[in-house]
Amino acid sequence: MSDVQELFDQYAAAYEQELSHAIAPSGESREYFAEGRLAWLKRCLEEMKQPIATVLDFGCGDGATTPLLLQSLNATLAVGVDVSDKSLDVARKRHATERIRYESPNNFQSFGKMDLAYCNGVFHHIPPGKRAVAVAMVHRALREGGLFSFWENNPWSLATRYVMSRCAFDRDAILLSPPEARALLRAGGFEILRTDFRFIFPHALRAFRKIEDFVYRAPLGTQYQILCRKIR
């Protein structure tokens, strides 16, 4: 059993509670951030005029984001993949349908078929020496020209580091800077299309959030998205 699998098997039942505790200083819920990421991704895809039918939720955890991906992107099929068997058990019980399924990496068979892969806060849990293997799996899952929406926590943000210090399963994580993440993705056969930073203001300063739609290129947000395309 890998260290990542063991860690998230341990927190499978209490994941939501632990995460809610960690992000409490923001004044927002887990759903606020998930919906915000997907709204931004949808905006990016609409600008590209890129419809999405099949989605891979890579590192899906307890599966809560998978149905949101299906709904927000008007997709027809979403597959969640995770190394934690216990997390997958939770995901299947709560969210599996005819259009949503959950699989372990060893059982995932939809290689070369997915229009889009999505992950959030996954790679900082993967040991640096094994990250290229994870990128390769995403690359194989995508069709030619498929897109990868890669979300990570911004290590340049003090707010990010504070929130992660409050989270039991994030305390030993090794963050990736945007340049490190872009280099990893390029080496894995992806073309970088854009890098965007989101979630600057907590709930108490929500009146200023409209500003975020104009300064998303500045590295101010607590999270960033790298949107990239499979090219080889």
Edge-to-edge strand ranges of the sheet holding 223-230: 100-103, 77-81, 54-58, 114-120, 142-153, 223-230, 190-198
Residue 164 Ramachandran class (φ > 0 left, ψ -120 to 50 alpha, else beta): alpha
CA-closest candidate to residue 175, choices 197, 151, 195, 205: 151
Distance separating alpha carbons of residues 232 and 60, to the nearest angstrom: 25
CB 139 within 8 A of CB 188: yes
Q: What is the pTM of this model?
A: 0.95
186 contact partners, CB below 8 Å, separation of at least 6: 192
Distance separating alpha carbons of residues 5 and 104, to the nearest angstrom: 11
Torsion angle defined by CA atoms of residues 53, 83, 129 and 190, in that order, rounded to the nearest 10 degrees:
0
In the chain, where does DSSP find H-type helix?
Answer: 3-10, 15-23, 30-48, 65-72, 85-95, 131-141, 158-165, 178-187
Which numeric CATH code is attached to 3-230?
A: 3.40.50.150
Query: Which run of H or of E encompasses 223?
Result: strand 223-230
104 contact partners, CB below 8 Å, separation of at least 6: 81, 82, 83, 85, 88
Q: Are strands 223-230 and 190-198 parallel, antiparallel or unpaired?
A: antiparallel
SS3 3: helix
Query: What values do phi and psi take at 160, rounded to 5?
Result: -60, -50
Q: What is the pLDDT tens value at each position of the chain, 232 positions in all?
A: 467 776 676 766 677 788 888 899 999 999 999 999 999 999 999 999 999 999 999 999 999 999 999 999 999 999 999 999 999 999 999 999 999 999 999 999 888 899 999 999 999 999 999 999 999 999 999 999 999 999 999 999 999 999 999 988 888 899 999 999 999 999 999 999 999 999 999 999 999 999 999 999 999 999 999 999 999 7
